Structure 1
Amino acid sequence: MDLLSTLPEECLSEILQRTSPADASRFATVSKGSKSAADSDAVWVRFLPEDLPEIISRSVSPVVYANNKELYFSLCNSPILLDAGKLSFSVKLRNGKKCYMVGARELVIIWCRDIPQYWKLTSHPDSRFSEVALLKVVCWLEIRGTINTRMLSSDTVYGCYLVFKLGRNPYGLQSANAFVRFTNDEVDGDDERAAILGHFARENDRDRHSRTGEAPVRIGDGLTEIAKVHLQRPDGFEQIGRVSVGRGDGWMEVELGSFYNDRGDDGVVETMLLGREGYQGKSGLIVQGIEFRPKS
C-alpha cells in the first residue's frame, strides 16, 4: 500500500498543495481517501492565480463553478472574456499560469479604422471575440499589441503569438518582420518608432543579400528581438524564420517574439508585426488577436 494514502486527509492536502495539477490529478486515482484530498478546494486554490477573484470580477458573463478544481479546468479549456470583451483570459493547463489574448479591436492596426477599403472589422463564427479584423488589401501591414506586465505571471517566459486565419485567396503574406520589447509608454515617440522602422528596413536589405536570419538588437532602453515570420508558407526561396502552425481551436498562430517577466514591474510589453518589403500588396488575413502565453 502507498504510505501517502494512509496519512490523514489534512496532511495529504498540505503535501499536494506543493505539487502540480498533474500530480494532484494522478494522486486522485490512488484510492477513495486520496481522491478526497486531491480534489479539495485547499489544493486547487494553490494552483490558481492569487488575483483570480479580481480577474473574474471583470468577466463579461458570470463564472459558474462547483469547486476550485472545476474552475481550474474550466479556465484551461474555456477562456473567459474580460473588460467588455476586449481581452480573453485562461490559465495554462500544466501550471495554472495566466494567459491573455488581446482582441483585434484593441490592437493598433494601421488603417483598420480609417480606410474601410483596406480593413474591415466583422464577426466570425469561430472567434471568441465579437469582432475580428479582415484584411481586404494593403501594401503596408502593421499590427501592434501591448499588455502591462503586472497582469502576467511573474518569473515566467512569455511568448507573443498572432492568432489568425487565412481567407480563400490570400497573397503577399509569405514574409514579415516582428519584434517584442519592453516600453514605459503605451504609445511610442516618433523618434523611437522611426528607429524601429529603420532597423526593419536594414534587416530586410541584409536578409535579401545574405539570408542570415534573426538578429537581436537594442533600441533605446528596451531589448528588441527582430525576427522573420511567415504567415503563409514561403515559396520560391529558402525558408528562414518562424512559420505559422495550427492551434487546437481551429486558428493559426505565429510567434512574434518572447520575453521574461520577472516580478511584473517592467511596465508595458509591446509586440509588432510589420510587412512592407517591396510594398507588395497583401490580402486575405483574418486577425483574431495577439495572445501572451507562458512558454512553459
Structure 2
Amino acid sequence: MKKMVMMNFSELPEDCVSTILSLCSPQDVCRSAAACSELRSAAELDCVWESFLPVDYHEIISRADPSLLKFRTKKELFFLFCNSVLIDGGNKIFNLDRFSGLKSYVLSARDLSIAWANAPLYWSWKNSPDSRFKENVELRTTSWLEIHGYLKMKMLSPRTTYGAYLIFKVSERAYGLDIMPMEVSVKVDNDLVCHNTMYLRQDFGNKHHIQWLLYYNRTEILTSRVNQGLDNSILIHPGVRDDGWTEIELGQFFCGGSCSDHNKVVKMSLMEIKGHHLKGGLIVEGIEIRPLH
C-alpha cells in the first residue's frame, strides 16, 4: 500500500499557488493571506488580482480621469474600482463589488433623458454637497414627467441579474408628486422585461393630507384604471438609502453572456400615467444599475 505524501503550500511553485488563488474570490484571497504567511507573497501578485478585474478594465481606465485613478498594482486598481470611480467626464460612476467582482454603474442626471430638462422654466440644474456628481437637477414645475436611462448590455457582468433604481430626493416645497402613480419599466432592446406602477410618496404632514384629500377621488379612479390595464403590475414604494438619498426600483433584468446579448441596450424608464397635473420638487441624482445577490 502506497504511503500518501502531504505537500505544504510552501513547497508548491509560486505560479501554481497564484493560479489556485485566482480561482477563489477576492475576499477568500485576502482572508487566506491574513491567515497563512506562506500565501502572502502570491496573494499580492498582479496575475491573481487581474483575474478579478473585468475583461474591459483597460477601457474603463481610459474613460476615467487619470488624476483620480492612480495605482501601482492590480490589487490597488481592484480596490479603487470597489470604492467607485467617476468615468465619462464625470457623468457615470463605475463600481466593482468587493466580494464578487461584479460591475455596477450609476448614470448621473446629465446622462439621462429627461423631458424638458434643459428648459429653465421646468427644471433647474444645481450643485449639491451630498451628490457624487458635479450637479443634479430639480423639477420646478411640469405637467408631464418622463425619465429614461440607457446602458449597453456589454458594459455589465455576464450571467448576472441586475436591478435598476432611480435615485432621488423630494424637497420640502414638493407638490403633486404623490397624487398619481407613475409607470416604471425596463426594456432590453424592444422587449419589455419588467413593468410596474409606483408612487413618489413623501409625507410632509398637513400639507400632504390636504393635498391627498383634494385629489383622492381622482387618484382612486386612475389607480383602478391602472390596475385593470396592468394585471401583472405590483405597486411599489420608495426606500431610503444609506447615503441619505431615496431610491425606487424601476425593474430587474438578466444580462446573459451570449454574443447576441452583447449588442443589446437596456432602457430604464419612469413615466407619468395620464396624470397631466402640475408637480414640482423632485431632485434627480441618477439611475443605479447594480447586481442582485
The CA deviation at 1:150 is: 1.6
TM-score between the two structures when normalised by the length of structure 1: 0.78
Cα distance between partner residues in 2 of 1:94 and 1:229: 32
- Secondary structure of the 1:134 match is strand
Counterparts of residues 1-296 of structure 1 (less than 5 Å) = 5-8=9-12, 9-62=14-67, 63-77=69-83, 79-114=84-119, 116-174=120-178, 175-183=181-189, 221-233=190-202, 241-263=235-257, 264-296=261-293
The CA deviation at 1:37 is: 2.1
Cα distance between partner residues in 2 of 1:272 and 1:255: 10
2:170–2:202 Cα contact (<8 Å) kept: no
The CA deviation at 1:112 is: 1.2
The CA deviation at 1:135 is: 1.0
User: Once the two structures are superposed, what CA deviation does each residue of 1:181-211 show, in whole Å capped at 9, x if it has no partner?
Assistant: 022xxxxxxxxxxxxxxxxxxxxxxxxxxxx
User: Once the two structures are superposed, what CA deviation does each residue of 1:83-136 show, in whole Å capped at 9, x if it has no partner?
Assistant: 22222211122211221222111211111113x121111111122222211111
Cα distance between partner residues in 2 of 1:130 and 1:80: 14
1:24–1:39 Cα contact (<8 Å) kept: no
Cα distance between partner residues in 2 of 1:245 and 1:138: 24
The CA deviation at 1:7 is: 4.8
Alignment gaps of 5+ in structure 2: 1-5, 204-208, 224-233
The CA deviation at 1:21 is: 1.2
The CA deviation at 1:233 is: 4.9
TM-score between the two structures when normalised by the length of structure 2: 0.79
Higher mean C-alpha displacement, 62-71 vs 4-13:
4-13
AA aligned opposite 2:174? P
AA aligned opposite 2:242? G
The CA deviation at 1:222 is: 0.9
1:161–1:256 Cα contact (<8 Å) kept: yes
AA aligned opposite 1:245? G
AA aligned opposite 2:43? A
Cα distance between partner residues in 2 of 1:93 and 1:247: 19
Residues 93/250 of structure 1: CA separation in 2 closer, same or farther (3 Å cut) = farther
Cα distance between partner residues in 1 of 2:252 and 2:139: 25
Cα distance between partner residues in 2 of 1:61 and 1:127: 21
The CA deviation at 1:277 is: 4.8
Cα distance between partner residues in 2 of 1:151 and 1:31: 36
Residues 231/34 of structure 1: CA separation in 2 closer, same or farther (3 Å cut) = farther
Aligned-residue RMSD, C-alpha:
2.6
2:193–2:253 Cα contact (<8 Å) kept: no
Alignment gaps of 5+ in structure 1: 184-220
Higher mean C-alpha displacement, 226-235 vs 8-17:
226-235
Q: How many residues get paired?
A: 256
- Secondary structure of the 1:93 match is coil
Residues 161/47 of structure 1: CA separation in 2 closer, same or farther (3 Å cut) = same
**Same amino acid, percent of matched pairs:** 39
Cα distance between partner residues in 1 of 2:279 and 2:44: 51
2:194–2:253 Cα contact (<8 Å) kept: no
Residues 40/250 of structure 1: CA separation in 2 closer, same or farther (3 Å cut) = farther
Cα distance between partner residues in 1 of 2:19 and 2:251: 38
1:98–1:294 Cα contact (<8 Å) kept: yes
